[in-house]
């Protein structure tokens, strides 16, 4: 990076490829003006998800995991607007005034921290008045979402709402805020929040003119790897981890047979080896589909455990048959149970071709998905079926099952169907009786 290189994405990427000593030398070669311009060039430093793809929006929701950079993105957006609009009135709304102050104003990535060096002496923070005056003369006012009436009356050009998903009186606060966003040609609101399936957030996401960006904690290149490794080891794949680290909004389908709370409470480890292990298979209708392949076992106490999700897409029949055989071998499976609707004899042939010694039972989906799913869901409710780990894609499909059928996203719940077939074989169907010799 030469001393006369302008700030920009290319310079940031080049700097990231250097080791610490080289980076220090490169930055040291810049003049103080160039270093200031480089540090202030937020669009070059922002990573994907920290800016909307276009400006034609009323509400921008930045939904992301912790440490993604939500606060920095919010502070930079407000600061840029204040620079360009000297007479602007800005609403800063947090769950409480204390949180708004400590995060949005005084935090490490807050408005005071991201201000340019030349602006800081001209900024004025007045805690007693809950007012921040920018160098341009624009003003930002702090509000607590816990007191929605405080937003009744004041008018603003833009608003930054932090952690809306934890606002105690979220809908009332949002409604009053929106009624006051009526200054300027195009009032806008930015919502920065970690996802939670609360009514206020779902309402905002459903509004016309809302754009959505975001990402996971790991998407922020400035988060230490040691921290990421530690929190992912503790929470990856769990509901908490998917929400707080991956930034995924997890919500229950109305009437679901597998509420998220049930899924989470059913997670654990297998205390001992399972005497019976079955691989459930839901073959795809075409190469483009996903073959559901789920390994389940029954412990000595009669509890079923989901052991592995080996599902895969884009495979030929021979390809997914080999994957089934590999899963069966890895877990010492005693039987494969496969739905025969998509191929019948072909399904059995390709499975036996992959492993001639593998017992294969073909089952026919005569009943609807809900009828097959309900007895298995009852086992989870009774604590007689559990997840031996985290299986996010499988769990998402299970969460879409209702007594009226499957209501989830996607074309088909292949993984869930495979799991249901396996547990049905283990615990719902009458056990297979040993052969008997009839006397004459």
Q: How far apart are CA 344 and CA 365, in angstroms?
A: 11
Name the token pair of 66. 């912790």
**C-alpha span between 360 and 283 (Å, rounded):** 13
> Average pLDDT of 76-82?
97
* Dihedral over Cα of 53, 57, 61, 62: its sign: positive
Given this model, what pLDDT does residue 218 score?
95
Task: Tell me the average pLDDT across 207-218.
Answer: 96
pLDDT recorded at residue 356: 64
**What pTM was computed for the model?**
0.72
pLDDT in the model for residue 274: 92
d(CA 336, CA 26): 61
Answer yes or no: is pLDDT of 8 > 80.
no
pLDDT at 2 (0 to 100): 38
Instruction: Note the pLDDT tens digit of each residue in 314-328.
Output: 998 889 999 999 999
* pLDDT computed for residue 412 by the predictor: 86
Domains of the chain in sequence order: 9-42 (no CATH), 59-219 (3.40.50.300), 260-428 (3.30.420.240)
First to last CA, the chain: 94
Q: What is the pLDDT of residues 126-171, one digit of tens each?
A: 999 999 999 999 999 999 999 999 999 999 999 999 999 999 999 9
What pLDDT is recorded for position 168?
92
Q: How does residue 27 score in pLDDT terms, banded at 50, 70 and 90?
A: confident
Measure the CA–CA gap between 98 and 127, rounded to whole angstroms: 10
What's the whole-number average pLDDT of the chain?
89
Res. 173: pLDDT tops 50: yes
pLDDT at 435 over 70: no
Return the pLDDT at 431: 53
* Contact predicate 170/117, CB 8 Å: no
């Amino acid at each position: 990076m030469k001393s006369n290189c302008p700030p920009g994405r290319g310079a940031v990427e080049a700097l990231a490829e250097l080791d610490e000593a080289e980076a220090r030398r490169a930055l040291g070669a810049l003049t103080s003006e160039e270093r200031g311009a480089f540090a202030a060039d937020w669009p070059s430093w922002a990573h994907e998800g920290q800016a909307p793809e276009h400006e034609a929006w009323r509400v921008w929701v930045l939904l992301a995991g912790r440490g993604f950079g939500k606060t920095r993105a919010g502070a930079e957006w407000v600061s840029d607007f204040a620079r360009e609009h000297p007479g602007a009135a800005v609403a800063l709304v947090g769950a409480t005034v204390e949180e708004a102050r400590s995060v949005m104003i005084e935090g490490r990535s807050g408005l005071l921290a991201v201000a340019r060096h030349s602006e800081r002496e001209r900024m004025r923070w007045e805690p007693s008045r809950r007012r921040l005056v920018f160098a341009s003369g624009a003003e930002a006012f702090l509000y607590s979402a816990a007191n929605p009436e405080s937003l009744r009356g004041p008018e603003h050009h833009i608003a930054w709402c932090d952690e809306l998903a934890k606002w105690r009186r979220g809908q009332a606060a949002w409604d009053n805020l929106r009624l006051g966003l009526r200054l300027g040609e195009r009032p806008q609101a930015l919502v920065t929040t970690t996802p939670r399936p609360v009514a206020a957030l779902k309402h905002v996401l459903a509004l016309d003119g809302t754009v959505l960006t975001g990402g996971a904690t790991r998407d922020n290149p400035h988060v230490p790897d040691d921290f990421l490794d530690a929190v992912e080891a503790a929470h990856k794949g769990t509901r908490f981890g998917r929400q707080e680290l991956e930034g995924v909004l997890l919500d229950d389908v109305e009437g679901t047979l597998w509420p998220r709370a049930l899924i989470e409470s059913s997670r654990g480890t297998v205390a001992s080896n399972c005497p019976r292990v079955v691989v459930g298979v839901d073959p795809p209708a075409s190469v483009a589909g996903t073959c559901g392949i789920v390994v389940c076992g029954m412990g000595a106490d009669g509890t079923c455990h989901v052991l592995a999700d080996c599902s895969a897409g884009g495979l030929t029949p021979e390809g997914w048959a080999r994957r089934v055989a590999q899963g069966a071998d890895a877990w010492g499976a005693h039987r494969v149970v496969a739905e025969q609707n998509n191929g019948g004899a072909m399904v059995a042939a390709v499975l036996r071709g992959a492993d001639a010694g593998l017992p294969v039972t073909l089952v026919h989906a005569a009943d609807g998905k809900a009828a097959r799913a309900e007895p298995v869901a009852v086992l989870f409710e009774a604590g007689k079926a559990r997840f031996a780990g985290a299986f996010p894609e499988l769990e998402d499909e299970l969460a879409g099952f209702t007594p009226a059928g499957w209501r989830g996203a996607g074309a088909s719940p292949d993984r869930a169907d495979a799991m249901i077939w396996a547990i049905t074989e283990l615990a719902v169907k009458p056990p297979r009786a040993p052969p008997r010799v009839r006397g004459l």
